[in-house]
Structure 1
Amino acid sequence: MAAVVPIDSKNVVCPPLGESIPFALPHAITVSLPTWRDNVGYLKGEKRVVDVMTTGYPRFFIHRSVGKLSSICESKFGLPNERCMLFPKDYIANHFRDFMIRYSPNRENPLQVRLAVWIAKTEGTPASLLVPEIELHIVLFPSDVFPLAKQFWQHVGLGIPSRSADAFLATVDLQGKVSSSANSTSQSTAHIKLDPEELNDQAPYTEGYCLPMTAESAIIAKRTIRHRIARLVSNNEVFSPPGQDELNMNAPGLGGVSEDDVFLFPSGMSAIWTAHQLCLATSPPSKSVCFGFPYTDTSKVLEKWGPGYYLFGDSSETSMRELEALLSAPEAPRILALFCEFPSNPLLRSVDLCRLRAIADRHDFPIIVDDTIGNFVNVNVLPFVDIVATSLSKIFSGAANILGGSLVLNSKGRHYSALKAKLEEIYEDIYWPEDAIHMERNSRNFVKRVHIINHNAEAVCDFLHTRMSSPGSIIKNVFYPKWQTRETYDAYKFPVPEGRGCGNFGGLVSVKFTSEKAAHAFYDALPCAKGPSLGTNFTLTCPYTILGHYWELEWAAQYGVDEDLVRISVGMEDKETLFSWFKIAFNAAAKAVDKCS
C-alpha cells in the first residue's frame, strides 16, 4: 500500500483570507475563510472577501480557468449582454436550457437561451495524450439572470471541471500562436506543433504525483476506482497495493458487488442528481421523501426537478411514525424514492435503515443513501438500500484537489433490474480523464487514512465532550456518532479492526456553543485550516449553518441546526498538535464569554 501522504503544516494551517487550501494549489477545492465575519462576508458578497478569493468549492465558485474560458466563449459566440455556462456534453446543456426556461422570471415571456458547440483538437498540447479533442457545449443567456444559471451549476455539479478548462485554454492559446505566426517560416510553426515523443518526455506528469497522463492510464484509473469501491462496499476488504488492484478485476467481493455496479461521476452532487433522474425515469412522477435534515443541494434537487418532496427533518422516532402514518392513510401518496444520509450532516444522526427498508418494500419505492460522512470503510449500508451515492471529493480523495462522485447499485435489491437497465441506457462517462487519474492516486491509501482519522477524531471528541461536562462550560453539545443515536450507528458499522483502539465513528464532529460569542471566538482562534468541504487529510473547520443555510437560518434551527454550529472535519495531524489547537480555541472562547459576563 502507498505510504500515507504526510501532513505539511505550511499548506494546511490556516492561510490568509481567499487563498486556496491547500495553499497555492491551482485546482484546490476549498478556500480559506479564517474568521466568522469572513464567512458572512462571503455569503453577502462583500467586496473585501470576494475580490481576494483565488478559488472556492467548484460548485459554488466559478474556477478562474473556467471563468476565463467562459469570457472567451462569450466574445466568440455571444451577443451583447449575454453570459454563458459551459458543459462537457449536449444532454447537460439541454437540461440546463430546460431549467432556465422553466424558471424564467417572467413565465409568459420565457428566457431566450441559445446553444453553441466548440470542438477543439488537442494535437500539439499535453491534453493530446488524454483525448484527441475536447467537446465544449456553450449555453448563452441574458446576463441579468446569471444567479439563476448559477443555481443549476451548484445543484447539479455537471459543469466543466477546471483541468478540462485548462486543457481547452491550451488549445486556444496554441491556435492563437499559430495564427499570429502565419506569415513566419514553417520552421517556427513546426516548433509550436509539439512532437508526440517530446510530449511523452516533457508533459506526462502533473502536480508532483508522477502519474502518466495518458488515455490508457485514465481507463485503468477509472476501472481501478470502480473495483476499489466494489470491494470495499462488498466486504470492507483492504485492497491490494498500488499496481495490483487491476488483478482479478471482475471478481466480486464477498457481498456480490462487481465493478459493473459502480458508476463514476464528476462530483458527488452529479451522482445524487443522476440518482433522482434515474428514479424519475423508472417510476411514475411523484414526490420523494427526504428523511433527516438534508444537505442543501440534495433538497434543491428534489424540489426543483420533479413534483417535490416530503421532509422529515429530524429523523426521530416521531418522524418515523409520521412517515408510516402518511403512507398508511386511506389516500396515501405514491412515493418516488426515499433519500437519506448515514450519518447525517451536520448533526451525525443515524437512521434505522432496516425499518426504512421494510417501509419501502411495503410501498414499493427505492432507497438512496448518501454515505459520504460514514464512508465505505466505516459503515455497511448497501445491503439495506438500493443505491449508495458518495462524494469521492471528500475522504476517498482526501487531498482537496479533485471532485468526484459515485453511485453503487445493490445487485440484490428488488429494484436492481429496472435501475441498472435504465442507468446503463442513460449513463455517459464524462469524468475528465486527468481528474480520474488523480482520484485513483489519492485513494490508494484511503483505508489507512480513514483509520488514522477515526482515531484522531474520537480523541478530539473525547477532549471536547469532557469539557462540555465541566461547570460553566461554553460547549452546549458535541455531535458525533459515539453519542448521537449510538445504538443505530453501531448496528450498521463495520467491525472495528483488532488493535485499532477506536470505534469507527468517522472524522466529522459538530459543536454547539452556549452563545454566539463563544462560537465566533472559538472559530476565529482555531489555528487549523478553515473553509468549506470536509473529509480532508488535514483538519478543516467551518461554521456549517452559516455557509449552508445563511438565508434560511430560522428554518434550519427548527431541526436543531443552529446558527452557532461549528463543524470540524478532523485530519491526520499528530494528536499533540490537534489538542494544542483545540485548547487555544477553547480558552479563547471562554475568555470572550468571561468578558461579556
Structure 2
Amino acid sequence: MTTTTVTQTEQQPLGAALPPFTAHAISVSLPTWGDNVGYEEGEKRVVDAMVSGYPRFFIHLSIQKLAKICEQKFGVPGEACLLCPTRRVAELCREFMRDRSTKAGSPVPVRLVQFTICPEEDDVSSPCVELHIVLFPKDSFPLAKQFWQHTGLCVSSRLAERCLVMMKVDGSGSPSPKSPTVPFMKPGNRHYSAAKGFNKSPPASPPATQPRFNANVSESSNELLSKDHINYVEERYGRNMPLESAAAAKRALRRRIAGVLVRDTPSDWSTAGGQDIELGPSTRAEGVTENDVFLYSTGMSAIWSAHQLALGARPAAKSVCFGFPYTDTLKILEKWGPGCHFLGRGLDEDIDELEAILERESKTSSGPPVLSLFTEFPSNPLLRSADLPRLRALADKHDFLIVVDETLGNFVNVEVLPYADIVVSSLSKVFSGDANVMGGSLVLNPNGRHYAALKVHMAATYEDSYYGEDAVFMERNSRDFRRRIHAIDANALAVCEFLRARSLSASPSSPSSSPSKPIAVKEVFYPRWETAAHYDRCRLGAGAGYGGLFSLTFTSLGASRAFFDALPCMKGPSLGTNFTLACPYTILAHYAELDWAAGWGVETGLVRVSVGLEEREALLRGFGVALEAAEAVVRKEQGEAKEQEKVEEAEAEAEA
C-alpha cells in the first residue's frame, strides 16, 4: 500500500499540478484561502501561475496549444474554437450555443470543421485522429465553455498530445520545419464548412514524468523520458496494457464496474479484458452484465447522458433534483429539457414535498408527472443520503426514472442499483485514485421496469468517445481500488471521529481528546452521522465503510480560513485521490451565489476534505495542527469581542 506522511513540506506552489509533475493531472494547487478567492475573481497572480486545473474548468495546455493551431488554420480574425472528439458532440455544442444565445436575444453564428490528422506514411502503428472544431466569435467563448463544463464531453489531453506529436509541433506551438504545413484533411459534409482564435500562446505542456522532489522545472526537464520510452516502461513492467489494447482495457473496466470478474486483482490484470476470461454472476445486482455498463470521458458526461437518455426514452416532463448536488448536475437539469424541481435539502420532509408535487402534476399531465429524479448517494458536500426505498416506491407509483450518482458512496461500500433505473459514477475519483485521468460510467438496472426501453435507446444512440489511452490508464489505476477504498474509509472515519469530538455537534457524553471546550468546529458532515439510517440501509455489511469525503463548518469565517491555511496536505479541486486533498468547497463551486448556497445549508466557510492513504497517525497530527490554528483564531476573536463590549459599556456609562 502506498503510504506517505502529511507534512507542511508537501504543499505545492500556487498553480502547480496535483499530483506534482504529472502531465495529465486533474487538480491544481490552490494552497491558501486567498488563492481560492483569487482564482474565482480571476486575479492575475493566480491565473498566470496555473499550469493545470480540473479539466472541465481549466482547458489543458496541450488542448489550448492544439486549439490555437486550429484557429490559425481554419478560423477567421475574431474567431475562437472549441475542440470536440466526435461529430455528434460538435453538433450538440453548436445546438447548445445557438439555443442559449437565441434565448438571450441574438443567435451566435457557429461553424463546424472536420479535421483529420494522420501520422507520416512510415508510421503504421498510429491511426489517424479525427478532430471536430467548433468555431464562433471570440466573445462567445464563455458560452462554449459552458457546454464543455456542463456536459463533460471534453477532448482528452492525451488525444491532444497525440495530435501535436503527429503534427510535429514544437514547444512554441508551431509545426516543425520537417513536418508538412498542412496535415491531411478529409473533406467535410454539407454541415461542415472548411474556412480559413485563446489570445495568447499557451505555455508548454507539463512534463510527463515525475522528477526529483522539489526539483524545479528547468532541472527536471533534463530527466524526462521520451513518450515512446515512457510507454515502453509502462508496458514492459506490467503497469499498463499496451496502448493498442484499449478495447481490452475498456472491457476490463466494464466488467470491474459490473462486478462480474471472478478474479480481479493486480496480478490478474493481463486477463481481465480478455475474451476467454472466467466471468461470474455480478456482485452488484442480479442479472447485471458488462453489457449494462457504458463508459464516458468524464463523470459529468455520464450524468449528462443519463439525462439525455431519459429525455429520449420517456415522455417529456420536468425532472427532480433531490438534495443539494454538485453544481453542474443541477445546471444540466435546468438547461436541457423542460427544467426541474429542486428539493435542495434532500431530507425526509423533502419527500413529503415531492409527493405533493407529484399529486399536483398528475392532475394536469396526461403522462408521468415528472421525467426522472436525480440524487447523489451520499451528496456532495453535505454527505446526506436519501431514503431510496421510499423514492423507489414513488417512482413505481408515478412511473418516473431514478438516477443515482454513487461516486461518493461507491459500490464497494453501498449498493444503490436495486433502487435505481440508472446509476452513474465519476471514475476520475476514488476508482482511479491517481488523479491523472478522467472517466465516467453509466449502469442500467436490468431489473428496472423501463430497462428494455432504456437499453434500446442506448443501443441506438450510445457513442463511445472515451479515448483509448485514457482507458488504458484508468484500467491500470483501478486494479486495486477495493483495497484502497477500505484503507481510505478507515482513515476518514478516524479523522472524522477526532474532529467531531472537538466540535460543537458532539454529544455531551462523547469522549474528548482535549480538556478544552470545543470552540472552532461547528459540525462534521459525514455519512456515519448524516442521515445514517438511509446510508446504512444500502451499506454492504459491517465491512463496508462511509467513504473518504467529509465536510466541516466552523464558528467563524476566520476559523475556516485558519484551519484551511494551516492544514498540512495538498489543496485543490477534485476528490477521491490517493493523497489527502482539501478545498474551500463553497468558494470554489458557488462563489457567484454564496447566499443562495448558504440558504440550502452550504455555508461560505465550509471546508471539504477528501482523505487519502497516508499513515493514520500523521493524518491525525496534521488535522490537530489545523484545528489548533482555528481555535487560536476563535480565542482571539472572542477576546476582541469582549474588549469591544467593554468599550461599548464604558461609552454607555459615560453617556448616562
The answer as to 2:259 corresponding to 1:231 is: yes
Which residue of 1 is the match for residue 269 of structure 2? Answer: 242
Which residue of 1 is the match for residue 162 of structure 2? Answer: 167
Deviation at 1:216, TM superposition (A): 3.8
Which residue of 1 is the match for residue 375 of structure 2? Answer: 340
The answer as to 2:392 corresponding to 1:365 is: no
Out of 568, 572, 582, the residue aligned to residue 613 of structure 2 is 572
Is the CA contact (8 Å cut-off) linking 1:125 and 1:170 kept in structure 2? no
Q: Which moved more, 1:461-470 or 1:378-387?
A: 461-470
What is the one-letter code of the residue matched to 1:320? I
State the alpha-carbon separation in 1 of the partners of residues 142 and 9 from structure 2: 32
Question: Structure 2 vs 1, CA of residues 531 and 416 (structure 1 numbering), >3 Å: closer, same or farther?
Answer: same
Deviation at 1:122, TM superposition (A): 3.0
Is the CA contact (8 Å cut-off) linking 1:17 and 1:53 kept in structure 2? yes
Number of equivalent positions: 571
Is the CA contact (8 Å cut-off) linking 1:12 and 1:538 kept in structure 2? no
State the alpha-carbon separation in 2 of the partners of residues 23 and 207 from structure 1: 22
> What's the CA shift string for 1:477-500, capped at 9, x where partnerless?
000011111111110011133xxx
Question: Structure 2 vs 1, CA of residues 574 and 537 (structure 1 numbering), >3 Å: closer, same or farther?
Answer: same
Show the 5 A alignment for 1:143-292.
Answer: 143-173=138-168, 176-179=176-179, 203-205=231-233, 211=239, 214=242, 216-231=244-259, 241-246=268-273, 248=277, 251-254=280-283, 255-292=286-323
What is the one-letter code of the residue matched to 1:242? W
Which residue of 1 is the match for residue 499 of structure 2? Answer: 464
Secondary structure of 2:579's match? Answer: coil
Deviation at 1:297, TM superposition (A): 0.4
Q: Which moved more, 1:131-140 or 1:565-574?
A: 131-140
Q: Which moved more, 1:65-74 or 1:216-225?
A: 216-225
State the alpha-carbon separation in 1 of the partners of residues 489 and 238 from structure 2: 29
TM-score by length of 2: 0.83
State the alpha-carbon separation in 1 of the partners of residues 279 and 231 from structure 2: 32
Which residue of 2 is the match for residue 133 of structure 1? Answer: 128
Out of 439, 447, 454, the residue aligned to residue 489 of structure 2 is 454
What is the one-letter code of the residue matched to 2:594? L
The answer as to 2:408 corresponding to 1:381 is: no
Q: Which moved more, 1:430-439 or 1:241-250?
A: 241-250
Deviation at 1:61, TM superposition (A): 0.3
Secondary structure of 2:134's match? Answer: strand
Which residue of 1 is the match for residue 459 of structure 2? Answer: 424
Out of 76, 79, 83, the residue aligned to residue 79 of structure 1 is 76
State the alpha-carbon separation in 1 of the partners of residues 541 and 502 from structure 2: 29
> What's the CA shift string for 1:49-75, capped at 9, x where partnerless?
000001000000011000000000000
Show the 5 A alignment for 1:91-130.
Answer: 91-104=88-101, 109-123=106-120, 129=125
Which residue of 1 is the match for residue 204 of structure 2? Answer: none
Which residue of 2 is the match for residue 302 of structure 1? Answer: 333
Q: Which moved more, 1:288-297 or 1:470-479?
A: 470-479
Out of 426, 438, 442, the residue aligned to residue 407 of structure 1 is 442
Out of 534, 546, 549, the residue aligned to residue 508 of structure 1 is 549
**Which has more radius of gyration?**
2
The answer as to 2:442 corresponding to 1:442 is: no
Q: Which moved more, 1:521-530 or 1:551-560?
A: 551-560
Which residue of 1 is the match for residue 215 of structure 2? Answer: none
Q: Which moved more, 1:452-461 or 1:237-246?
A: 237-246
Which residue of 1 is the match for residue 575 of structure 2? Answer: 534
Which residue of 2 is the match for residue 326 of structure 1? Answer: 357
Q: Which runs of 5+ in 2 are unaligned?
A: 170-174, 183-225, 507-515, 639-656
Deviation at 1:121, TM superposition (A): 1.1
What is the one-letter code of the residue matched to 1:336? L
Which residue of 2 is the match for residue 311 of structure 1? Answer: 342
State the alpha-carbon separation in 2 of the partners of residues 538 and 210 from structure 1: 23
Is the CA contact (8 Å cut-off) linking 1:261 and 1:409 kept in structure 2? yes
Question: Structure 2 vs 1, CA of residues 280 and 532 (structure 1 numbering), >3 Å: closer, same or farther?
Answer: same
Deviation at 1:178, TM superposition (A): 3.3
Secondary structure of 2:576's match? Answer: coil
Deviation at 1:380, TM superposition (A): 0.7
Deviation at 1:284, TM superposition (A): 2.2
What is the one-letter code of the residue matched to 1:529? M
State the alpha-carbon separation in 2 of the partners of residues 22 and 462 from structure 1: 27
Is the CA contact (8 Å cut-off) linking 1:264 and 1:406 kept in structure 2? yes
Question: Structure 2 vs 1, CA of residues 361 and 522 (structure 1 numbering), >3 Å: closer, same or farther?
Answer: same
> What's the CA shift string for 1:147-189, capped at 9, x where partnerless?
111111100111211000000011111774434799xxxxxxx
Secondary structure of 1:103's match? Answer: helix
What is the one-letter code of the residue matched to 1:517? G
Which residue of 2 is the match for residue 484 of structure 1? Answer: 530
Question: Structure 2 vs 1, CA of residues 344 and 240 (structure 1 numbering), >3 Å: closer, same or farther?
Answer: farther
State the alpha-carbon separation in 1 of the partners of residues 601 and 262 from structure 2: 35
State the alpha-carbon separation in 1 of the partners of residues 531 and 115 from structure 2: 52
State the alpha-carbon separation in 2 of the partners of residues 251 and 493 from structure 1: 22
Q: Which moved more, 1:100-109 or 1:523-532?
A: 100-109
> What's the CA shift string for 1:339-394, capped at 9, x where partnerless?
00001111111111111011001111110000000011001100110111000000
Question: Structure 2 vs 1, CA of residues 404 and 78 (structure 1 numbering), >3 Å: closer, same or farther?
Answer: same
What is the one-letter code of the residue matched to 1:560? G
> What's the CA shift string for 1:528-567, capped at 9, x where partnerless?
0000000000100011111111111111111111101000
Deviation at 1:256, TM superposition (A): 1.9
State the alpha-carbon separation in 1 of the partners of residues 8 and 625 from structure 2: 20
Which residue of 2 is the match for residue 195 of structure 1? Answer: none
Question: Structure 2 vs 1, CA of residues 47 and 515 (structure 1 numbering), >3 Å: closer, same or farther?
Answer: same
Secondary structure of 1:52's match? Answer: coil
Show the 5 A alignment for 1:18-37.
Answer: 18-37=15-34
What is the one-letter code of the residue matched to 1:171? M
> What's the CA shift string for 1:425-454, capped at 9, x where partnerless?
111111111100000000000000000000
Deviation at 1:460, TM superposition (A): 0.2
> Percent identity at matched positions?
52
What is the one-letter code of the residue matched to 1:287? K
State the alpha-carbon separation in 1 of the partners of residues 115 and 607 from structure 2: 44
State the alpha-carbon separation in 1 of the partners of residues 564 and 236 from structure 2: 33
What is the one-letter code of the residue matched to 2:270? G
Question: Structure 2 vs 1, CA of residues 108 and 54 (structure 1 numbering), >3 Å: closer, same or farther?
Answer: closer
Q: Which moved more, 1:448-457 or 1:487-496?
A: 487-496
The answer as to 2:586 corresponding to 1:545 is: yes
Secondary structure of 2:114's match? Answer: strand
Q: Which moved more, 1:334-343 or 1:206-215?
A: 206-215
Which residue of 2 is the match for residue 398 of structure 1? Answer: 433
Deviation at 1:206, TM superposition (A): 5.4
Question: Structure 2 vs 1, CA of residues 142 and 235 (structure 1 numbering), >3 Å: closer, same or farther?
Answer: same
Is the CA contact (8 Å cut-off) linking 2:5 and 2:618 kept in structure 1? no
The answer as to 2:588 corresponding to 1:593 is: no
State the alpha-carbon separation in 2 of the partners of residues 338 and 239 from structure 1: 37
Is the CA contact (8 Å cut-off) linking 1:204 and 1:212 kept in structure 2? no
State the alpha-carbon separation in 1 of the partners of residues 603 and 624 from structure 2: 23
Deviation at 1:509, TM superposition (A): 0.7
What is the one-letter code of the residue matched to 2:531? T
Question: Structure 2 vs 1, CA of residues 64 and 122 (structure 1 numbering), >3 Å: closer, same or farther?
Answer: same
State the alpha-carbon separation in 2 of the partners of residues 398 and 374 from structure 1: 15
Question: Structure 2 vs 1, CA of residues 200 and 22 (structure 1 numbering), >3 Å: closer, same or farther?
Answer: closer
Question: Structure 2 vs 1, CA of residues 561 and 249 (structure 1 numbering), >3 Å: closer, same or farther?
Answer: farther
Is the CA contact (8 Å cut-off) linking 1:367 and 1:385 kept in structure 2? yes
State the alpha-carbon separation in 2 of the partners of residues 443 and 20 from structure 1: 21
State the alpha-carbon separation in 2 of the partners of residues 41 and 394 from structure 1: 25
Secondary structure of 2:605's match? Answer: coil
State the alpha-carbon separation in 2 of the partners of residues 5 and 223 from structure 1: 27
Deviation at 1:248, TM superposition (A): 3.5
Which residue of 1 is the match for residue 196 of structure 2? Answer: none
State the alpha-carbon separation in 1 of the partners of residues 457 and 8 from structure 2: 44
